[in-house]
Amino acid sequence: MEESNIKKVAVVFGGRSAEHEVSIRSAKNIIEALDKNLFQPFLFGISQTGTWFYFSSLEELNKKVVIKDEEAKNKYPTVQFSCEDQRPTFHTYLNNFKVESISIDVAFPILHGSYGEDGCVQGLFQMLNLPFVGCSVLSSAIGMDKEIMKKIFLSSNILTSPWKTLYSWDMSNIKFEELAESLGVPFFIKPANAGSSVGVHKIKSKEDFVNQLKDSFLYDSKVIAERFVKGREIECSVKGLQENPQASLPGEVISNHEFYSYEAKYLDENGAIIKIPADLKKEEIIRIQVLAQKVYQVLCCSGLSRVDFFLTEDSELFVNEINTMPGFTNISMYPKMWEAIGIKYSQLITDLIQTAERQFHKDTKLKRTF
């Protein structure tokens, strides 16, 4: 393929969330898997405080576990943006001197959590007239906020576990006894806007609750207290445009910890057993795939998402949550579930980028003047 036909892809990673390190791991895998005959990657890392830096190669990124301003500011160019003649451009500067300007064709924001998966960066790309991989501002924001997500599930007759919403400004009125009566014991608490099981705790007693609630409130001013659902943890990957989503074969997570915590996911190599495909009956697979597609459409998703379920012994299927930018680390379920039906990692990345371009072209046909 001629160089002029190779699309310039901005891979954006890091960010201002507790999932900063997970994002960097995901980005490394995506950059390595990117089909270099079709795409040229450009690496843009966001520091823990929000500064954008440009990394010239994967080798530079491989040295990084986290991106800190004090370590990066004199070594890596910072980034500014413009959109002239409908052409999104990333300008790089080192010590206030312009290094280069890069016209970008499509962005792949592999950002997890706040300021990346919640619609913030998606809005930036829309303002820059830049196609991007993943869900829109609206569906990203809904998928990130577990309270709003659950309310939409209820209004759409999608089964989800009962919950109560707790606010940091209302601490004096939060009573363990009331929650225990309403939700039963044990129950879970989790930040409303976070992922990767950050700040999630299983509450078995009042002492647990008092100690762990403080930790959950470190990550969000709104915390969800949720009834414990005893069941198998099933996940299903979805991709494509909203009007025609495709669902993968489901996978199952069997945690060797008390639940599928951050430690079980990323720190303990024996933290969980991943079964892909999950050992399910044909009718169960179809139910899960159909419901995953329904969740995707109800939340106005496009691009990609992973839908997580609890399947109980009496065959009730609860939707736990949707993840609108799932991980792409070595252990991440999203790409592995596609591999189970023959879609290799590199082809998956190509599919996601091409879907982003189709969504962009569809959106540009809408009339913006009156």
pLDDT, one tens digit per residue, over 242-261 is: 999 999 999 999 987 665 55
pLDDT top residue among 289 and 58: 289
Reported confidence tier of residue 23, pLDDT bands at 50, 70, 90: very high
Q: What is the mean pLDDT of residues 85-108?
A: 94
Window from 6-15, 157-166, 359-368 with minimum mean pLDDT? 359-368
In the chain, where the domains are located: 3-132, 142-159+230-364, 163-227
Q: Are 91 and 81 in contact (CB under 8 A)?
A: yes
Q: In sequence order, what are the residues at sequence separation of 6 or more whose Cβ sits closer than 8 angstroms to the Cβ of residue 348?
A: 239, 335, 338, 339
Q: What is the mean pLDDT of residues 224-231?
A: 96
Q: What is the mean pLDDT of residues 4-28?
A: 92
Residue-averaged pLDDT of the chain: 92
| Cα 164 to Cα 182: distance, rounded to the nearest angstrom | 9
Give me the pLDDT at residue 8, please. 97
Relative orientation angle of helices 282-298 and 146-155, to the nearest 10 degrees = 110
Full-model pTM? 0.92
Q: What is the mean pLDDT of residues 173-200?
A: 90
Neighbours of 57 (CB within 10 A): 10
Is 3-132 a domain of CATH 3.40.50.1820?
A: no
Window from 63-67, 121-125, 159-163, 207-211 with minimum mean pLDDT? 63-67
SS3 200: coil
Reported confidence tier of residue 268, pLDDT bands at 50, 70, 90: low
Q: What is the mean pLDDT of residues 271-297?
A: 95
Reported confidence tier of residue 365, pLDDT bands at 50, 70, 90: confident
Q: Are 326 and 238 in contact (CB under 8 A)?
A: no
Give me the pLDDT at residue 1, please. 45
Place domain 163-227 in its CATH homologous superfamily.
ATP-grasp fold, A domain (3.30.1490.20)
The fold of 142-159+230-364 is D-amino Acid Aminotransferase; Chain A, domain 1 (3.30.470)
DSSP secondary structure of 16-66: SSTTHHHHHHHHHHHHHHS-TTTEEEEEEEE-TTS-EEEESSHHHHHT-SS
Give me the pLDDT at residue 35, please. 97
Kindly tell me if the per-residue pLDDT of 136 is higher than 50: yes
| Cα 226 to Cα 247: distance, rounded to the nearest angstrom | 27
Give tens-digit pLDDT for 298-335. 999 999 999 999 999 999 999 999 999 999 987 889 99
